[in-house]
Structure 1
Amino acid sequence: MRLRSLSKNLLLRVLVAIVLGTVFGLFFPEWLARVFMTFNGIFSQFLGFLIPLIIVGLVTPAIADLGKGAGKWLAATAAMAYGSTVFAGLLAFLVAKSTYPWLLGGHTAVDGLENPEEHALSGYFDITMPPVFDVMTALVLSFCLGVGITFVRGTTLHQGFGELRTIVMRIVEKIIIPLLPIYIFGMFLSLTMNGQIVLVISTFLRVVILAFVMTVVILLIQYTIAGVVTKRNPLVLLKNMLPAYATALGTSSSAATIPVTLECTRRNGVDGRVAGFTVPLCATIHLSGSTMKIVLFSLAIMTISGMPINTWQYVGFIFLLGVTMVAAPGVPGGAIMAAVAILQSSLGFDETAVGLMIATYVAIDSFGTACNVTGDGAIAAIMNRILTGKDGTLRNAPPVPAQ
């Protein structure tokens, strides 16, 4: 209930911030708007300082947790989840590259989204907060430590990073999330006063519709593959997962939806032991819907901003995003909080672009979560087929991971 309340309250506050920022930007005096620009500058600096710590504090224990217990079945499930996540990102990239030239139309010629801290509006002062280390260092360090912990028999280091995860989570919950609507308010206030709000709204409404269509396409592909492997009707498998989809729409949380997802996978004939292993694991590492949304929205921002889109650089971003998404279920506000780091480091997003990503992602967060959760059922069905012998009995059943 706590996650559900948090997600709903955050969504409401973000929507209110967007509306108020747009309306107030029509008549706010410049001196007052600069107060919010000052806050936005400080908040951006603090967020930039915190991002490497978020990566180390969340990704390291998440990878360490994955290395315990299930042997090759863990590897098989993780490989399928990662492959599905990366595939969704690559498919979204191809669709965006082929449709944005005509879908966004004349918006591609706009001379970028100006950073309000550098142009028409600026803060009264700024405070520099350099991060302890850069984002790539944090990602490599998290991977090395997370994998390394799985080979260490002791529990001290694992427990220590678990406590670091708790500290990072408290900072995000108590500081970042409560202040996020103010930051988004200031950003949309600036966009309105700079005369850019019409461009932003008209562009992202089209991208949102495309994201909904892509959700259906991704789920049909996932369940077609599951249907071929299990030799069952994919539409029936997908229909049985609809209660999990609906629950995720209401909770915006893969973790909170686990009980319903488990029940739906059992309706598809998945053994309870397989479901109890794959569903909680995939709730942590399988984020195809979230990745698809991040790719679509980031490419839209790059398109209307006039930023260069290098295909191979962006493909590398998608593969990094798949790894970073492991931390996403533990971050209030969705996968976008975990993805901010590589959006800045790999794609060169500034404060305005990051703010737009956060605002648009949170606004339809539940739809990405619903796609993630529903896709978990396809992976569970495939794993059940792999683990089931010709005589119909379960062989080498994996242990249920500790929650």
Structure 2
Amino acid sequence: MKRFGLLPRLIIGIIAGILIGSTGVEFLTRILVTFSGIFGNFLGYIIPLIIIGFVAPGIAELGGKAGKLLGYTAGIAYLSTIIAGTIAFLTATLILPSIITASSDVSGEGMKIAPYFEIQMPAIMSVMTALITAFLFGLGMAAIKGKTMFNFMNEFQEIIKKVIENIIIPILPIYIAGLFAKMAYTGEVTRTLSVFGRVFVLVVIIHICYIILQYLVAGSITKLNPFLAIKNMLPAYFTAIGTQSSAATIPVTVRTTKTNGVSDEVADFAVPLCATIHLAGSTITLTICATAVMALEGATFNFTQIMPFILMLGITMVAAPGVPGGAIMAALGLLETMLGFTDAQLALMMALYVAQDSFGTAANVTGDGAIALIVNKLARKTS
């Protein structure tokens, strides 16, 4: 199975879960539900550690870099991410109500099937405590410029990354299989899958529209033809679809960015930095998928509720590890604390997100090229 990518394994897990749940054989479904419950508890335990392991070193590394280029790039990247999330939410509120009919039992709450047993795994701290701790450590390491704590946090980050790559990501399809087995057992799966397809199409359309908007803005500032610039960035876009990693696509993104006239200095600095801090495509996906999951269960949502989530998401995306599905792992804590998502809702979010992860990554790296164009213009004015 390791030879398959995450998306094919996720699809296999969904199909297997549906088949097992559709048989109506209770003990098979309960086995999957039991496993999903244990794994869900493990996720609850590991989420605070993920936040500390990735947010703290990320903030420390940003604070350790100097120069006006850092300020320009980080500011534009954060603004772009917030605008992307806002557009995604406004679009979702206009379109999703017409394509999603609420149900009180989509995520499995109140289903007449229970796991054989449960294993409780209490987190060592709450998600909000982890966020505050990560910010404190990150800013502190950047201020004192010490190496001992920084090296420790980097090694801790590597440990958490190994947990994600070798435990969470490989087991995730089985976890999702348990959720879909539950839904198939009670007849909810057909409607949920139809919603998946509609949300997927909406997400990709918003990705493309936002890429065009980014290059229209960059083109108006740099006097460059935006559509020619997008054409030059297509190799990076399609490479990202294949790699599902902004970091792995950096060499191609740098080369295509330079094709648009960005200087070597700016491209070599801005693109790797944006690969870490600019995840507009992922933010679009997370915002739309979160709105869709809430709409599925008839939950009410408004701009004042979602906007703080988007603002925090723009910061937390710095914590996204460079593996397929990394952004959703970094965002699980915010979904749980700020939007009140249950374990079943988080599982739906992961399934929705991973299904289009490659397109979100492609939107991320293509947008990096637009930011590099703007930073390049600003760098020339200040030089």
The interval holding the TM-score normalised by the smaller chain is: over 0.9
After TM superposition, list the pairs within 5 Å mapping 1:227-306 onto structure 2. 227-306=219-298
Shift of 1:6: 7.3
Aligned partner of 2:210 in structure 1 is: 218
Instruction: Check whether the contact 1:7–1:251 (CA below 8 A) recurs between aligned residues.
Output: no
SS in 2 for 1:76: helix
**Alignment partner of 2:198 out of 179, 201, 206:** 206
Instruction: Check whether the contact 1:283–1:329 (CA below 8 A) recurs between aligned residues.
Output: no
Shift of 1:332: 4.3
State the Cα deviation string for residues 313-372 of structure 1 (Å, max 9, x = none): 211011111111111143542311111111111111112111111112111110000000
SS in 1 for 2:320: helix
* Structure 1 residue runs without a partner (length 5+): 396-403
Output the amino acid matched with 2:122: P
After TM superposition, list the pairs within 5 Å mapping 1:3-402 onto structure 2. 9-104=5-100, 107-108=101-102, 110-115=103-108, 118-389=110-381, 395=383
Please, what is the CA RMSD of the aligned residues?
1.6
State the Cα deviation string for residues 117-154 of structure 1 (Å, max 9, x = none): x4221101111111111111111111121111111132
Instruction: Measure, in 1, the Cα distance between the counterparts of 2:50 and 2:281.
Output: 22
Instruction: Check whether the contact 1:56–1:142 (CA below 8 A) recurs between aligned residues.
Output: yes
Instruction: Check whether the contact 1:219–1:374 (CA below 8 A) recurs between aligned residues.
Output: yes
Distance 1:47-1:81 versus aligned 2 partners, 3 A rule: same
Instruction: Check whether the contact 1:51–1:340 (CA below 8 A) recurs between aligned residues.
Output: yes
Aligned partner of 1:401 in structure 2 is: none
SS in 2 for 1:25: helix
State the Cα deviation string for residues 212-262 of structure 1 (Å, max 9, x = none): 110111001100110011011111111110110010011111011001001
TM-score by length of 1: 0.92
SS in 1 for 2:22: coil
Q: How many residues align?
A: 383
Instruction: Measure, in 2, the Cα distance between the counterparts of 1:98 and 1:7.
Output: 40
Output the amino acid matched with 1:225: V
* Structure 2 residue runs without a partner (length 5+): none
Shift of 1:30: 0.3
SS in 2 for 1:388: helix
Instruction: Measure, in 2, the Cα distance between the counterparts of 1:71 and 1:145.
Output: 22
Output the amino acid matched with 1:340: L
Output the amino acid matched with 2:345: A
Instruction: Measure, in 2, the Cα distance between the counterparts of 1:250 and 1:61.
Output: 28
Shift of 1:72: 2.7
Instruction: Measure, in 1, the Cα distance between the counterparts of 2:145 and 2:363.
Output: 37
SS in 1 for 2:114: coil
Output the amino acid matched with 2:294: M
Instruction: Measure, in 2, the Cα distance between the counterparts of 1:48 and 1:362.
Output: 19
Aligned partner of 1:400 in structure 2 is: none
Output the amino acid matched with 1:14: L
Instruction: Measure, in 1, the Cα distance between the counterparts of 2:286 and 2:195.
Output: 15
Output the amino acid matched with 1:141: T
Instruction: Measure, in 2, the Cα distance between the counterparts of 1:144 and 1:222.
Output: 33
State the Cα deviation string for residues 289-332 of structure 1 (Å, max 9, x = none): 00001111111110010112142121101111111111114354
Over the matched positions of the two proteins, sequence identity in percent amounts to 47
Q: Which moved more, 1:63-72 or 1:30-39?
A: 63-72
Q: Which moved more, 1:299-308 or 1:270-279?
A: 299-308
TM-score by length of 2: 0.97
Output the amino acid matched with 1:113: V
Output the amino acid matched with 1:115: G
